[in-house]
Each structure stands twice: as structure tokens, then as C-alpha cells.
Amino acid sequence: MRGMLAAAALTLVSLGVAHAQEKDVAGSQDHPLLTRMPGYYIDGYEVKDFDSVDSSAYVSGADATWEGRATRLSYAIKSGTKPISMTQIARNYEAALKKVGATILFSDARVVGAKLIRTGTTWVKVEAFNEGNSYSLLVVEAKAMEQEVVADAAALQAGIGAEGKVAVYGIYFDTNKAVVKPESNPTLEQIVKLLEQSPRLNLFVVGHTDGVGAPEANLKLSSDRAASVIEALVSRGVEAARLMPAGAGPYCPVATNRTDAGKAKNRRVELVERLY
């Protein structure tokens, strides 16, 4: 009898521990865009300020690569919750995404992906597993990667030595403006150092824009930005004769202009070796 009571007590303790563990992981929360399925808890949570997701297995073209702030959530069903199918999870999220104006990119019996355009672009993927006992939610909010590492003079020299040019992403302007912003100073100082260390190096300073707006306006903007960069370098002691401005506007992209991340890569200044 005592053995049976002990076994029963152990079972109750085990159930209590299991229920206690069925809580959202510490620090987690639902993404503001979408709520969870009723009766589920968050058992996995990760947010990366900038990440790249390959979705080419589901969709091609501009939507095959998702870049930006990535939130990954995994959900598990709570004990005692009525089981639901993987398809029910997928269809619930598909309906919710359509309701907020998203375009469905792909959908099957357990996976759905969508794209939502508001002030920016957001991609969503929901994938159900284990007969509906768990599912994952991925939300990628497009944004340009913040340039946290400024290329130093040695890296700039290496790029020019290898390819005759180097792209610089640490020079900043306001939208549709050509005034160099103060946060560009660390990069400008490295360009000055490059030119001091390589007294025979002359450069084209070439401005590039994304593909938004009229090409003629972007061509002028890129040229004006290149001239502003040269003005900033001359003010730091660089001989003006060593630098020549040029503007390529939107005509030499290095990435697609269909995504925010691609446009950010296209907005750049290039230093091109000048042999005369």
C-alpha cells in the first residue's frame, strides 16, 4: 500500500514539474505582429539584430533572401490542450497574415510564408512539426546592417591593390542630401591615413545611389556626394589634385534594389585608383 502511495505521489510530483516547465522561456515574448496559437507556450526564443535567411527552397527572385532583424520563436503545446493538426496551424497563420495585408509567398499543409510591406518590408515563415505539437515562427524585418567595423587604411589599401577599387560604407548622408554627416569622421580619417601612407596614390572618389527615384536626380546626387567627400578630405590636409569626383548614380549596383538590404549596399562611396 505504501509503495502504491509513494508511486502515486511520485507521479503527482512529476506532473507538477512538467506543468511548471510549460512556461515561456525567460525573456521571451510573442512578436507584436502575430499572436500564438491558444494552448501553446514559448520553448525557444532568439532575436538577432541582423541576419540573412535563405528561402530559395520555397521562393525565387528578390524574395529568396531575407535580411534584417530576425526573431525566431518556437512553440510547444501545453499538457491537456486539445491537439490540432499541422495544417490547422498553417491555415490559422495564413488567414491572420492575409488579414493584415500580407502577400502569401508559399503555402502547403504545414508551412506558410508571407511578405508584408508597410513602412518597410517584413517576411514571415511559420512551420508546424510533430503532428501539430510544436511549430516555429520566423519574422525578418528588413533593415540595413549597421556598420560597426570601419575599414582601416590597411584594408582600404588591400582592396585597391587587389581590384583597383574599394567600396566604403562608413560615409553617411541624410536622404537626398550631399552633406557628409559627422559620424563619417572615423572613416574619413582612415582615408586620409591611406593617402598619407601612399603618397603616389591618386583616386577617383565615386558616389553611388540606390535605384529609388529618377536616374538623373540620383546621378547628380551621387556626384554631389563625391564632391562633398573630397571637400571633407581636403579640409583634413589631403592635396586636392590627388582626388577627382565622379557620380555613377544608380547605374552600377552591387545588389538588387528590390530589397532594403540591397538598396543599402548600393548606397556607397568607392575609391578607385587613378593612374594619372
Q: How far apart are CA 121 and CA 102, in angstroms?
A: 10
Burial class (CB in 10 A: 0-12, 13-18, 19+), 135: buried
In the chain, where the domains are located: 23-142, 153-274
Q: How far apart are CA 112 and CA 114, in angstroms?
A: 7
The reported pLDDT for the residue numbered 150 is 60
The reported pLDDT for the residue numbered 144 is 58
> If you search the block for the grid coordinates 593617402, which residue do you land on?
195
The reported pLDDT for the residue numbered 49 is 87
Q: How far apart are CA 50 and CA 200, in angstroms?
A: 39
User: ∠ CA(176), CA(146), CA(53), 5° rounding?
Assistant: 110
Domain 153-274 has CATH 3.30.420.40: no
β-strand partners of 139: 71, 124
Which pTM was predicted?
0.53
Q: How far apart are CA 59 and CA 225, in angstroms?
A: 37
Asked if 270 contacts 169 with a C-beta cutoff of 8 angstroms, the reply is no
Is a pLDDT exceeding 90 seen at residue 109? yes
The tens digit of pLDDT for each residue in 141-182 reads 987 555 555 678 988 998 899 999 999 988 999 889 999 999
The tens digit of pLDDT for each residue in 222-238 reads 999 999 999 999 999 99
At position 10, the amino acid (one-letter code) is L
The tens digit of pLDDT for each residue in 22-74 reads 999 999 999 999 999 999 999 999 999 888 899 999 998 878 899 889 999 99
Question: 259: pLDDT confidence band, cut at 50, 70 and 90?
Answer: confident
